[in-house]
């Protein structure tokens, strides 16, 4: 056994014995807590890594650590050690005075066979765990009951350490464990839509956390906490800048700053990526063209890649938005998306980099249904991308709406690895003030069956590579992180970051289980908290769908800033930026006919799915108006006509928010006052805004349908003109 040291984070490292390179062996007793710890003011900065003792209400034990042997050489090992020290000490330190140590329960051993002779001696089978996977196993080591976390590489051990901390935080006993974990998706990244002036497009949590002006001289400790939070949920990369990219990020001055951030994230297994502006060779390189087939342009990108990698050897690669919403791209030179992607792919390939090429493309000059355009442009290119290219596809064909059917590209490009793009920030789900837990949305899409290879060809199996045998796989989440003290703008929006990471690691996890896990770590293990909070979270996304426009309505928000209702939005620069283009309501009915008789978008799905979406009787009602234009009196499954059903959904949404508010009010005293008060205030905002959405939408659609409201339904308090006249010139997050 290595020598025991007292648990003092500051000195543990300095006194490490050289003989054993990386083993964390913690001996701790089990301390039964006498009662829930006193509630302390919290501002949300700690996220789900509060390491609060699970509390007596969980009826389980928390470790009271007595001694620690810690050996850590590499940066990743040190990060692991620090986290375990921090976590275990806080978990035990939270025990109230008078808690009694009842038994000596054993230790915790974390490492790899290469770094720890003790782990090597155990001879655990680590095959199939890859670089990032880990095993957690209850074992007897040197006569002590021990929880062993073993991995092939340090980063796997880091992830395993976070898993143990999660078990402890959620009040689960460290007994009889035999856990094997490997990530199902290789590239698990955040996409920051952050500009270099710290403005965050579609960001509702303050400024960008990247303090570009002070970098690289000032390395905000927040970057380390960011990396800790991401590593705790398995996120292994981040794209620092907006896809609407500024070429300057590729200049030497910024590349130094990028390298400084990368240095802080690296010990936590995170790589840094950049959004590349396609026209950069012209803007910062002085070339006359950015044509991807031009030898000078190709040379410029290769040299640029060499420069990036010289500063940052494990740089991840580039993300590109090209020929979309005014961004430059290969089509400016008559070249294809594959030509553009491959040129960049060739530049980063010698360094092991990848290119994530976005499929979010549409053009107002294209007369076809916007929902069809990405498929039309990309499917013919299947098989023509380099091996290190991923095509990044949004979850639905329009744009991160509260509900969309899965994007028809999933399953339609078997020779190309497609990566998922989810939005974590809530551009269309109430910014950061509305409580909307997005994991059910993510889960719904991941579980959707493309049927391209028969039943079971789920979107999850497309993106994890198992359907078509791809090793390079990826998933991206548009970040909701900013400079706000609580990171995400609201306490509950932290759950969307958390859930994204957990589903990126394992797309089969259930959104309810993730909600429970997050609630336990973020608020309390008390079942009187967990059950109602999980209930609120699980109802919340459907509430947003209901009060913003249910039954397949989409893109009915305010123009530009996307804040609040705007079903009347029409005119302006392009039809497919209006609401009337999407809902097509007239005196006879409502909905976008995407059937074979209409835009024929249904035919982009595999035949069994297309058949269903083409048939008004078989289309799930939540997608009715997405695929069909139906009369206002279309009979619904409830027996009600469509108009009545739609109106009642608006009311149902407002009602759910009212219930959430009441539930939260009932938790007063069980949640620390600071966080409780902010959530309560935000729920009040949400209730007002849900009511506004409902009133404005009903006023508008009634002006089109001309139908009376169902019996007992309150009319909107204002005439339609009142809602249409509201303006929000300074709403946050708009495109600059
Ligand atoms: O969701 C929409 C947003 C734009 C965004 C664009 C995209 C970054 O309204 O702000 O631009 O999609 O995904 O490229």
CATH of the domain at 278: 3.20.20.80
Same domain (yes/no): 252, 370: yes
Last residue in a domain, options 181, 212, 236: 181
The two tokens of residue 159 are 């992830």
Q: How far apart are CA 340 and CA 342, in angstroms?
A: 6
Q: How far apart are CA 322 and CA 324, in angstroms?
A: 5
Same domain (yes/no): 104, 242: no
- Predicted confidence (pLDDT) per residue in 177-214, tens digit: 999 999 999 999 999 999 999 999 999 999 999 999 99
CATH of residue 125's domain is 3.30.379.10
Same domain (yes/no): 116, 146: yes
User: What pLDDT does 2 receive?
Assistant: 38
Same domain (yes/no): 70, 118: yes
- My answer on whether omega of the bond before 494 falls inside 30° of 0, hence cis, is no
pLDDT at 220 over 60: yes
Same domain (yes/no): 160, 222: no
Ligand 1 pocket residue status of 399, Cβ below 6 Å: yes
Residue keyed to tokens 């209006």: 578
Q: How far apart are CA 670 and CA 680, in angstroms?
A: 13
What does the H/E/C string look like for 648-697? HHHHHHHHHHHHHHHHHHCCECCECHHHHHHHHHHHHHHHHHHHHHHHHH
Ligand 1 pocket residue status of 239, Cβ below 6 Å: no
Ligand 1 pocket residue status of 360, Cβ below 6 Å: yes
Cβ atoms 68, 6 nearer than 8 A: yes
656 lies in a domain? no
Question: What is the layout of strands, in order, in the sheet containing 100-111?
Answer: 62-71, 23-32, 100-111, 144-150, 134-141, 178-181
The per-residue pLDDT of the chain, averaged, comes to 91
- Predicted confidence (pLDDT) per residue in 492-507, tens digit: 999 999 999 999 999 9
Cβ atoms 28, 65 nearer than 8 A: yes
Q: How far apart are CA 136 and CA 147, in angstroms?
A: 7
The model's confidence at residue 19, banded by pLDDT at 50, 70 and 90, is very low
- Predicted confidence (pLDDT) per residue in 523-563, tens digit: 999 999 999 999 999 999 999 999 999 999 999 999 999 99
- Predicted confidence (pLDDT) per residue in 59-86, tens digit: 344 443 333 444 568 999 999 999 998 9
Same domain (yes/no): 462, 349: yes
pLDDT at 17 over 80: no
Cβ atoms 357, 409 nearer than 8 A: no
The two tokens of residue 41 are 């003011």
User: What pLDDT does 662 receive?
Assistant: 98
Last residue in a domain, options 159, 181, 203: 181
**Helices H / strands E in the chain, number of each:** 21, 16
CA atoms lying within 13 Å on the CB side of residue 508: 7
Taking the CA atoms of the chain, what radius of gyration do you get in angstroms? Answer: 27
pLDDT at 626 over 90: yes
Domain enclosing residue 293, as ranges:
187-400+422-433+453-509
722 lies in a domain? no
Neighbours of 364 (CB within 10 A): 12
What DSSP string runs through 386-435?
-TTEEEEEESSSSSS-SS-PPPTTTTT-TTS-EEEEEE-S-TTTTTTTS-
User: What pLDDT does 40 receive?
Assistant: 72
pLDDT at 97 over 60: no
Ligand 1 pocket residue status of 404, Cβ below 6 Å: no
Q: Which atom of ligand 1 lies nearest, measured to the CA of 394?
A: 13
End-to-end CA distance of the chain: 60
Please list, in sequence order, all residues whose beta carbon lies within 8 angstroms of the beta carbon of residue 335, skipping any fewer than 6 positions away.
291, 292, 293
Q: Distances in Å between the alpha carbon of 597 and those of 277, 450, 591, 609?
A: 40, 22, 13, 16
Ligand 1 pocket residue status of 243, Cβ below 6 Å: yes
Q: How far apart are CA 367 and CA 373, in angstroms?
A: 10
Output the CA 261–ligand 1 centroid distance in Å.
Answer: 25
Q: Answer with the residue of higher pLDDT: 36 or 232.
A: 232
Ligand 1 pocket residue status of 321, Cβ below 6 Å: yes
- With the most atoms of ligand 1 within 8 angstroms of its CB, the residue from 241, 244, 574 to mutate is 244
Q: How far apart are CA 555 and CA 197, in angstroms?
A: 29
User: What pLDDT does 365 receive?
Assistant: 76
The two tokens of residue 575 are 């039809």
Query: Residue 109: in which H helix or E strand, if any?
Result: strand 100-111
Output the CA 68–ligand 1 centroid distance in Å.
Answer: 49
Output the CA 385–ligand 1 centroid distance in Å.
Answer: 24
Q: How far apart are CA 624 and CA 646, in angstroms?
A: 11
- Predicted confidence (pLDDT) per residue in 405-438, tens digit: 999 999 999 999 999 999 999 999 999 999 999 9
What does the H/E/C string look like for 89-106? HHHHHCCCCCCEEEEEEE
109 lies in a domain? yes
Neighbours of 181 (CB within 10 A): 18
Residue among 642, 647, 626, 636 at smallest CA distance from 556: 626
Ligand 1 pocket residue status of 560, Cβ below 6 Å: no
Same domain (yes/no): 358, 274: yes
110 lies in a domain? yes
How does DSSP classify residue 713?
P
Residue among 212, 209, 193 at smallest CA distance from 201: 193
User: What pLDDT does 142 receive?
Assistant: 80
- With the most atoms of ligand 1 within 8 angstroms of its CB, the residue from 199, 200, 201 to mutate is 201
Question: Catalytic amino acids?
Answer: 325, 399, 427
Q: How many domains does the chain have?
A: 2
Same domain (yes/no): 232, 377: yes
The dihedral region occupied by 617, where left means phi > 0, alpha psi between -120 and 50, and beta the remainder, is alpha
CA dihedral 646, 648, 654, 660 (to 10 degrees): -120
pLDDT at 128 over 60: yes
Same domain (yes/no): 234, 85: no
- Predicted confidence (pLDDT) per residue in 634-687, tens digit: 999 999 999 999 999 999 999 999 999 999 999 999 999 999 999 999 999 999
User: What pLDDT does 94 receive?
Assistant: 35
Same domain (yes/no): 101, 33: yes
Ligand 1 pocket residue status of 193, Cβ below 6 Å: yes
365 lies in a domain? yes
219 lies in a domain? yes
Helix, coil or strand: residue 363: coil
- With the most atoms of ligand 1 within 8 angstroms of its CB, the residue from 192, 194, 199, 202 to mutate is 202
Output the CA 695–ligand 1 centroid distance in Å.
Answer: 27
Residue among 292, 273, 282, 295 at smallest CA distance from 247: 282
- Predicted confidence (pLDDT) per residue in 572-607, tens digit: 988 999 999 999 999 999 999 999 999 999 999 999
The winner for highest mean pLDDT among 34-48, 62-76, 317-331 is 317-331
The two tokens of residue 640 are 């009600």
Q: How far apart are CA 720 and CA 340, in angstroms?
A: 47
Neighbours of 618 (CB within 10 A): 9
Q: Distances in Å between the alpha carbon of 239 and those of 318, 456, 489?
A: 8, 32, 20
Mean pLDDT of 298-307: 98
User: What pLDDT does 106 receive?
Assistant: 55
Same domain (yes/no): 261, 134: no
488 lies in a domain? yes
- Which residue is closest in CA terms to ligand 1's atom 4? 735
Q: Which atom of ligand 1 lies nearest, measured to the CA of 201?
A: 10
406 lies in a domain? no
User: What pLDDT does 93 receive?
Assistant: 53
Q: Which atom of ligand 1 lies nearest, measured to the CA of 421?
A: 13
Same domain (yes/no): 87, 205: no
CA atoms lying within 13 Å on the CB side of residue 388: 18
- Which residue is closest in CA terms to ligand 1's atom 2? 399
Q: How far apart are CA 195 and CA 394, in angstroms?
A: 21
Ligand 1 pocket residue status of 400, Cβ below 6 Å: yes
Last residue in a domain, options 156, 181, 206: 181
Lowest mean pLDDT, pick from 41-45, 279-283, 434-438, 468-472: 41-45
pLDDT at 519 over 90: yes
Phi, psi values for residue 265, rounded to 5°:
-90, -25
- With the most atoms of ligand 1 within 8 angstroms of its CB, the residue from 203, 239, 399 to mutate is 399
- Which residue is closest in CA terms to ligand 1's atom 12? 399
Q: How many residues does the chain have?
A: 736
Q: Distances in Å between the alpha carbon of 334 and those of 278, 281, 331, 592?
A: 14, 17, 5, 32
Q: Distances in Å between the alpha carbon of 9 and those of 15, 71, 84, 218, 499?
A: 11, 12, 10, 24, 30
Share of the chain above pLDDT 90, in %: 85
């Amino acid at each position: 056994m290595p020598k025991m040291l007292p648990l003092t984070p500051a000195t543990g490292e300095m006194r490490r014995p050289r003989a054993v390179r990386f083993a964390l062996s913690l001996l701790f007793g089990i301390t039964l807590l006498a009662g829930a710890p006193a509630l302390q003011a919290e501002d949300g900065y700690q996220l789900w890594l509060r390491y609060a003792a699970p509390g007596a209400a969980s009826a389980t034990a928390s470790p009271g650590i007595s001694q620690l042997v810690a050996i850590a050489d590499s940066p990743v090992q040190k990060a692991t050690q620090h986290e375990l020290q921090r976590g275990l000490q806080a978990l035990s330190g939270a025990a109230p005075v008078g808690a009694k140590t009842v038994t000596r329960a054993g230790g915790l051993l974390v490492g790899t066979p290469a770094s720890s002779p003790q782990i090597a001696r155990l001879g655990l089978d680590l095959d199939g765990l890859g670089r990032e996977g880990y095993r957690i196993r209850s074992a007897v080591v040197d006569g002590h009951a021990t929880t062993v976390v073993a991995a092939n590489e340090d980063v796997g051990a880091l992830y395993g350490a976070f898993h143990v901390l999660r078990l402890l935080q959620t009040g689960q006993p460290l007994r009889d464990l035999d856990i094997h974990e490997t990530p199902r998706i290789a590239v698990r990244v955040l996409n920051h839509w952050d500009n270099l002036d710290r403005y965050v497009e579609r960001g509702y949590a303050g400024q960008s956390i990247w303090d570009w002006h002070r970098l690289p001289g000032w390395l905000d400790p927040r970057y380390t906490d960011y990396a800790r939070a991401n590593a705790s949920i398995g996120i292994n990369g981040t794209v620092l800048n907006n896809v609407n990219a500024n070429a300057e990020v590729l200049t030497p001055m910024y590349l130094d700053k990028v390298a400084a951030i990368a240095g802080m994230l690296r010990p936590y297994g995170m790589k840094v990526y950049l959004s590349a502006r396609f026209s950069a060779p012209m803007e910062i390189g002085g070339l006359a063209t950015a044509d991807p087939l031009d030898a000078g342009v190709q040379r410029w990108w290769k040299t640029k890649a060499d420069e990036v990698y010289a500063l940052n050897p494990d740089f991840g690669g580039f993300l590109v938005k090209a020929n979309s919403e005014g961004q430059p791209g290969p089509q400016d030179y008559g070249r294809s998306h594959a030509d553009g992607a491959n040129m960049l792919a060739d530049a980063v390939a010698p360094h092991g980099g990848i290119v994530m090429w976005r499929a979010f493309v549409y053009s107002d000059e294209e007369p076809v249904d916007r929902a069809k355009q990405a498929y039309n442009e990309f499917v013919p290119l299947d098989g023509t991308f380099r091996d290190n290219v991923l095509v990044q596809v949004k979850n639905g064909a329009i744009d991160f709406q509260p509900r969309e059917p899965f994007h028809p590209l999933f399953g339609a490009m078997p020779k190309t690895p497609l990566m998922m793009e989810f939005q974590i920030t809530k551009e269309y789900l109430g910014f950061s003030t509305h409580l909307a837990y997005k994991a059910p949305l993510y889960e719904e899409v991941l579980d959707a069956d493309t049927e391209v290879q028969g039943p079971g060809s789920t979107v999850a199996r497309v993106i994890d590579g198992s359907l078509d045998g791809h090793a390079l796989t990826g998933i991206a989440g548009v970040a909701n992180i900013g400079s706000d003290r609580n990171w995400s703008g609201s306490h509950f929006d932290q759950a969307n970051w958390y859930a994204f990471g957990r589903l990126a690691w394992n797309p089969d996890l259930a959104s309810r289980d993730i909600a429970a896990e997050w609630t336990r770590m973020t608020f309390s293990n008390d079942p009187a908290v967990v059950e109602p909070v999980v209930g609120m979270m699980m109802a919340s996304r459907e509430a947003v769908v209901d009060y913003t426009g249910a039954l397949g309505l989409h893109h009915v928000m305010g123009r530009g800033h996307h804040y609040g209702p705007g079903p009347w939005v029409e005119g302006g620069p392009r039809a497919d930026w209006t609401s009337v283009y999407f809902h097509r309501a007239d005196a006879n009915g409502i909905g976008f006919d995407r059937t074979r008789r209409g835009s024929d978008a249904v035919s982009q799905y595999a035949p069994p799915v297309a058949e269903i979406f083409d048939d008004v009787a078989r289309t799930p009602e939540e997608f009715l108006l997405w695929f069909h234009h139906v009369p206002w009196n279309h009979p619904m499954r409830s027996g009600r006509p469509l108009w009545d059903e739609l109106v009642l959904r608006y009311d149902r949404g407002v009602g759910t928010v009212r219930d959430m508010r009441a539930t939260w009010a009932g938790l007063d005293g069980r949640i620390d006052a600071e966080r409780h008060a902010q959530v309560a205030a935000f729920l009040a905002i949400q209730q007002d805004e849900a009511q506004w959405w409902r009133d404005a939408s009903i006023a508008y659609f009634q002006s089109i349908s001309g139908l009376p409201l169902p019996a007992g339904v309150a009319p909107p308090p204002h005439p339609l003109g009142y809602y249409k006249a509201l303006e929000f010139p300074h709403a946050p997050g708009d495109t600059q």
